[in-house]
Structure 1
Amino acid sequence: MDTETTRGTTVDQAEIAKFEAMAAEWWDPNGKFKPLHMLNPCRLDYITRQIAAEYDRDLSAEQPFAGLRILDIGCGGGLLSEPMARLGAEVVGADAAPRNIPVARIHAEKMGLQIDYRVTTAEALAEAGEVFDVVLNMEVVEHVANPASYLAACQQLLRPGGLMICSTINRNAKSWLMAIVGAEHVMRWLPKGTHDWQKFITPDELYDLLRGAGLEPVDRKGFVFNPLGWSWSLSDRDLSVNYVTASLRP
């Protein structure tokens, strides 16, 4: 695997190449990112509720996240950055894949949104002294070369008391069947090879990694797909495939 380890980054160039090849399709709900478009309402429900609870914000307000600085690391085409901007946050969208950022910028301009999109890494942002109230770290940790170092960089990006939302995929027989065989080979939602099952992380492993990075895990939920309703929902118990965590920097 072609993994870049210079300059203290955990970027995996082989993983970046996969997503660069799909960059133009970020905003096509029926394209290669169809699974994320389907999952996005469920992700946003969890994210917005966690931020509102932590910062005592009223989600019924016009711009409930006004005054909050949010980093969307691994932002892709901006599927999460744009809703955060609409809710009033100051948003930085960062991605190590250079082809993703122009796609995100163009779409944000069309939507009339001000989002600071950058081709950069968590490590580079931390080294520059950037600080955020919230870090959105969604479906990224299973693609980096060194999860422990990557999460340590994310911790540095949070102000004391700051919140990180981190989602990934569990590692077990079910996740292999659903996330790789089902999504990549049967449904063909994603190109073959998008995910590496060996890089998936169990919930307990992620909690250990978060604690090792100096973060305090406070919540975790499962994202559960219902093939009958063709929809996603949150679960307190079922973390068997996709799941999300919330943690704080003390």
Structure 2
Amino acid sequence: MNMFKNLLANFRYFSTKPNVHQTEAFNELAEMWWNDKGILRILHTLNDLRVNWITTQLIKTGTIQKTVDKSTTLKGISVLDVGCGGGILTEPLSRLGGDITGLDCNVEMIKIATSRMQDKNVPNLRYILSAIEEYSTDNKNKYDVVVASETIEHVNEQDVFLKCCVECLKPGGSIFITTNSKSQCSKFLFITLLEDILSALPKGTHEYDMFIDIEEAKNLLRKEKCDVTFSSGIIYSPFNNRWYWIKNPYILHYGLHAIKSS
């Protein structure tokens, strides 16, 4: 407990009400966050797709060079993982050698993430307790990469959220987004099945009205002067616990990559 008090004393904590809807539900998920055999294994498995996707896109844009040694893939690159939770994606990104910051406004998630960070002694990784809306005020044009993976569907004012994410990007920097499609298939899987029928997730983890259509997400990015360079659907197979890219972004899930105008 003393370790957490000391760690949290060094965080910039903002008292403004965060632009997030399901804080209580996430608190219920805290204990199972790093159980890669439990229901959140679908998030752990998603790393196989999204880490490779992020690095591949950065190579294509010339932001990084392809390396044999994966521990240096993101060397010299600053990354902000917005809505990092307990660090499921943040940790793997830190192993690629970049300067990684995980940002979340949920204190329980930050406790989980920092505990693991201290155990692993990762010098290029830090976690900050804050909402992006407040954090962006003093951190404009700071990061080469901003990642908002499985986050925007939990945000009330999505236009404000994306505006603040883009503000943290350097001109020419990349933003990566993955989220639920606004479809009946997505609603059935994440709400009806996982929450209502199986009770595998706490009720209220997802709100269908907060799922964002891919075209709307693209328009919000363009409004912030970002050029969308990649958009594709993502599908999950429960038979082998793997995620795959598909052409249709309207079925279950999708990913977007955009570049901030110079």
State if a TM-score over 0.5 links the two structures. yes
* Residue equivalent to 1:53: 60
The one-character-per-residue Cα deviations of 1:199-250 (angstroms, maximum 9, x if unpaired) are 1011111111111222221111222112333321112335411111001100
**In structure 1, which of residues 229, 242, 245 is the aligned counterpart of residue 253 of structure 2?**
242
1:155 and 2:166 matched: yes
- Count of residues in correspondence between the two structures: 243
Q: Residue 77 of structure 1 contacts residue 101 of structure 1 at CA under 8 Å; is this kept in 2? A: yes
Q: Residue 148 of structure 1 contacts residue 213 of structure 1 at CA under 8 Å; is this kept in 2? A: no
How far apart are 1:48 and its partner, in Å?
Answer: 2.1
State the secondary structure of the residue aligned to 2:258. Answer: strand
**In structure 2, which of residues 111, 126, 129 is the aligned counterpart of residue 119 of structure 1?**
129
* Residue equivalent to 1:24: 31
The one-character-per-residue Cα deviations of 1:72-99 (angstroms, maximum 9, x if unpaired) are 0101111111111110010111000011
* Residue equivalent to 1:39: 46
* Residue equivalent to 1:196: 207
Higher mean displacement: 171-180 or 134-143: 171-180
**In structure 1, which of residues 201, 209, 219 is the aligned counterpart of residue 230 of structure 2?**
219
Q: Residue 220 of structure 1 contacts residue 246 of structure 1 at CA under 8 Å; is this kept in 2? A: yes
Q: 5+ residue gaps in structure 2? A: 1-14
How far apart are 1:59 and its partner, in Å?
Answer: 4.2
Change over 3 Å in CA distance of 1:188–1:230 after alignment to 2: farther
State the secondary structure of the residue aligned to 1:136. Answer: strand
State the secondary structure of the residue aligned to 1:22. Answer: helix
State the secondary structure of the residue aligned to 2:68. Answer: coil
Report the Cα distance in structure 2 between the residues aligned to 1:59 and 1:211, rounded to whole angstroms: 32
**In structure 1, which of residues 167, 177, 184 is the aligned counterpart of residue 188 of structure 2?**
177
How far apart are 1:116 and its partner, in Å?
Answer: 1.1
- Within a 5 Å distance, the mapping from 1:94-109 to structure 2 comes to 94-109=103-118
The one-character-per-residue Cα deviations of 1:11-42 (angstroms, maximum 9, x if unpaired) are 22x41222123223211113352321232212
Q: Residue 64 of structure 2 contacts residue 74 of structure 2 at CA under 8 Å; is this kept in 1? A: no
Q: 5+ residue gaps in structure 1? A: 1-5
Q: Residue 92 of structure 1 contacts residue 118 of structure 1 at CA under 8 Å; is this kept in 2? A: yes
* Residue equivalent to 1:129: 139
Report the Cα distance in structure 2 between the residues aligned to 1:138 and 1:238, rounded to whole angstroms: 15
State the secondary structure of the residue aligned to 1:57. Answer: coil
TM-score by length of 1: 0.90
* Residue equivalent to 2:81: 72
Report the Cα distance in structure 2 between the residues aligned to 1:185 and 1:46, rounded to whole angstroms: 32
Higher mean displacement: 178-187 or 130-139: 178-187
The amino acid that maps onto 1:205 is E
How far apart are 1:112 and its partner, in Å?
Answer: 2.7
CA RMSD after TM alignment: 1.9
How far apart are 1:101 and its partner, in Å?
Answer: 0.8
How far apart are 1:69 and its partner, in Å?
Answer: 0.5
